[in-house]
């Protein structure tokens, strides 16, 4: 299988990943990676389905940290905020 888009160091970079990483809505690298994975999983389905999936993942993470009585990490708060904004989008 031929690899396209490789860099001299042998690392593969996709344009979508770079675009997601630079997105000011998701400053955390972990949150950006989860958003990218949700987008990849929901390619070809209604955009609302991706928002619902992402919101569900964010809420599960928040609930898991609360259940363990641990502080909610910034990247989880970033993820919650990202999908809360998507909810208000047309």
> What is the pTM assigned to this prediction?
0.64
Which of these, 39, 42, 89, 33, lies nearest to 61 by C-alpha position?
A: 33
Give the separation between CA 30 and CA 36, rounded to whole angstroms: 10
Position 9 scores a pLDDT of: 54
Position 85 scores a pLDDT of: 77
- Reported confidence tier of residue 87, pLDDT bands at 50, 70, 90: low
Least confident of 10-14, 50-54, 73-77, 79-83: 10-14
Two tokens at 89? 């989008």
How far does Cα 79 stand from its chain's mean position?
7
Question: What three-state secondary structure class fits 66?
Answer: helix
pLDDT tens for 14-71 read 444 444 444 555 578 999 999 999 999 998 888 788 899 999 999 999 999 999 999 9
């Amino acid at each position: 299988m031929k690899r396209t888009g490789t860099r001299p160091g042998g690392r593969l970079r996709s344009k979508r990943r770079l675009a997601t990483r630079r997105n000011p809505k998701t400053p955390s690298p972990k949150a950006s990676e989860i958003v990218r994975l949700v987008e990849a999983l929901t390619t070809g389905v209604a955009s609302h389905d991706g928002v619902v999936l992402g919101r569900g993942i964010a809420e599960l993470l928040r609930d898991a940290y609360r259940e363990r009585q641990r502080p909610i990490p910034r990247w989880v708060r970033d993820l919650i905020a990202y999908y809360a904004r998507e909810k208000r989008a047309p």
